[in-house]
Amino acid sequence: MRKKIIAGNWKMNNNKAETAALIQSLTPFNFSAEVRVMVAPAFTHLVQAEALTQGSRIEVLAQNMNAAESGAYTGEISATMLSSIGIQKVILGHSERRAFYNETDESLKAKVATAITHDMEIVFCFGEELDQRKAGSHFEVVKTQLETALFDLTPSQWSKVILAYEPVWAIGTGETATPEQAQEMHAYIRDLIASNYDQALEDSVSILYGGSVKPANAQSIFSQPDVDGGLIGGASLNADDFKAIIQSA
Ligand code: 13P
């Protein structure tokens, strides 16, 4: 049985004090044992977040990392650096990284490999753009994204992967995929996993939906049979909204 997962991607928002306040308003919250809750603050606040979440069930993840072990990559953060402050989880492949920082399926494959080497759990983001959805190529786009970056992992390595389908046209736009559109894509992804691996893996992989999830629409999306929770942007910056979303899982 897959647990529900609600992850807040705080992107490039909140200073140190604001991040602390947001975490401190989440840690006393008593959410269901069937739900995992994660938050992804900025790199500069990860040490603080790790300390403030000690003793709670809130898990902290990074928003990105470099594929290289170390070296002359000014401004970058390695898996070893994250591990050294107790962070063993990372978001990879967010559409904003793909769009603004030229991340590709190939470069993400390298990041995935590094994360696996360091025994890190990965929230792997992917999804089509608006013109691709309009052209009807969204299934093909998603297939290529997953095949390139993930489909040479072994089944046991997949235990470290959480998928996050985020149609780019629904991110920060207020336009959400309908529950049916989310379910259709998530079911397609499970079929892809089954045809590349087997039924056991198909059943075990968690697939989150992301893109304008709010308290008002969360329950209808999360109740779809192949949707295992959400990756939440804007609404995760407001403690009350994020808690309401967690309660909808
Ligand atoms: P919004 O919830 O703000 O649309 O962002 C979604 C997202 O990009 C989460 O990673």
Ligand 1 closest atom vs CA 234:
3
Three-state SS string across the chain, please?
CCCEEEEEECCCCCCHHHHHHHHHHHCCCCCCCCEEEEEECCHHHHHHHHHHCCCCCEEECECCCCCCCCCCCCCCCCHHHHHHCCCCEEEECCHHHHHHCCCCHHHHHHHHHHHHHCCCEEEEEECCCHHHHHCCCHHHHHHHHHHHHHCCCCCCHHHHEEEEECCHHHCCCCCCCCHHHHHHHHHHHHHHHHHHCCHHHHHHCCEEEECCCCHHHHHHHHCCCCCCEEEECHHHHCHHHHHHHHHCC
CATH value at residue 215? 3.20.20.70
pLDDT digits (tens, 9 = 90+) for 177-205: 999 999 999 999 999 999 999 999 999 99
Say how far apart CA 5 and CA 52 lie, in whole Å.
20
pTM of the predicted protein model: 0.97
Q: 212: Cβ below 6 Å to ligand 1?
A: yes
> Residue 172's pLDDT band (boundaries 50, 70, 90)?
confident
Tell me the per-residue pLDDT of 91-130, one tens digit each, with 9 for 90 and over. 999 999 999 999 999 999 999 999 999 999 999 999 999 9
127 lines ligand 1 (CB under 6 A): no
Query: Residue 106 Cα, ligand 1 centroid: separation in angstroms?
Result: 23
Q: Whole domain around residue 92: which residue ranges?
A: 4-248
pLDDT at position 179 is 96
Percent of the chain with pLDDT over 90: 98
User: Which residue is closest in CA terms to ligand 1's atom 7?
Assistant: 233
Run of H or E residues at 211: none
| Number of domains composing the chain | 1
For residue 10, how far is its CA from the centre of ligand 1 (angstroms)? 9
Q: Please work out whether the CB of residue 236 comes within 6 Å of at least one atom of ligand 1.
A: no
pLDDT score at 165: 98
| Nearest atom within ligand 1 for CA of residue 171 | 4
User: Is residue 175 over pLDDT 90?
Assistant: no
- The partner residues of 118 in beta bridges, in order of sequence, read none
Please give the positions annotated as active site. 94, 166
